[in-house]
């Protein structure tokens, strides 16, 4: 649980650990979802980051660096816009299926949100993780609607402790 002093300072919350920064991927090219027939293994068939989205992802990383924050792990959806956001911000990431998109004909899977909740419950104290995902997953887990490139800090109970914009 966050101390009162940390409640108004997202960086202090992250330093305390036992939490996650859940990010919605950075700004994409216009559109919703992905083009028909997209291939998850082929970035050119997906809706990808725009130039401003790439800049936003870099700013995310600068925000963390300027505050001396290093995530314990950076986990991401397999969609290229999420992988690119994570890699531009942090220089590395690890794919994790529970963060994958459930937009369109992909019905939200209760076990997917349950896996996210279980992982939250097991977050190490004194460390934090970054998860990069999609709006549908953010809403399912945190009940929030984020702009592209925004994040929320969640505690081990999926309670929103802070909302962070990197612009």
Q: What is the per-residue pLDDT across 22-33, written as a single tens digit (0 to 9) for each?
A: 999 999 998 777
Which residues have C-beta within 8 Å of that of residue 167, sequence separation ≥ 6?
56, 59, 149
State whether the Cα torsion 54-48-132-167 is positive or negative. positive
Spans of all domains in the chain: 16-27+45-156
List pLDDT tens digits, range 92-135. 999 999 999 876 555 556 688 899 999 999 998 899 999 999 99
- What is the pLDDT, as a whole number, of residue 109? 63
Question: Are 153 and 98 contacting, i.e. CB atoms less than 8 angstroms apart?
Answer: no
The third-level CATH classification (topology) of the domain covering 16-27+45-156 is: Rossmann fold (3.40.50)
Positions of E strands within 44-166: 73-76, 94-95, 128-133, 150-154, 160-165
Contacts of 147 (CB under 8 A, 6+ apart): 24, 165
Q: Hey, what are 6's tokens?
A: 């940390």
pTM reported for the whole predicted model = 0.92
In this structure, are residues 82 and 133 in contact, taking their beta carbons and an 8 Å threshold?
yes
Of 7-21, 29-43, 55-69, 106-120, the one with minimum mean pLDDT is 106-120
């Amino acid at each position: 649980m966050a101390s009162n002093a940390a409640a108004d300072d997202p960086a202090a919350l992250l330093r305390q650990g036992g939490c996650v920064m859940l990010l919605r991927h950075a700004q994409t090219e216009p559109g919703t979802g992905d083009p028909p027939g997209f291939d998850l293994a082929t970035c050119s068939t997906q809706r990808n980051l725009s130039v401003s989205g790439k800049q936003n992802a870099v700013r995310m990383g600068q925000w963390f660096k300027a505050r001396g924050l290093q995530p314990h792990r950076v986990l991401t959806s397999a969609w290229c816009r999420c992988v690119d956001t994570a890699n531009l911000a942090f220089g590395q990431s690890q794919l994790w299926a529970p963060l994958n998109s459930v937009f369109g004909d992909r019905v939200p899977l209760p076990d997917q949100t349950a896996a996210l909740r279980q992982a939250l419950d097991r977050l190490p104290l004194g460390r934090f993780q970054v998860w990069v995902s999609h709006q549908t997953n953010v809403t399912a887990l945190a009940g929030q609607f984020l702009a592209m490139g925004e994040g929320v800090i969640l505690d081990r109970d999926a309670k929103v402790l802070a909302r962070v914009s990197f612009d």
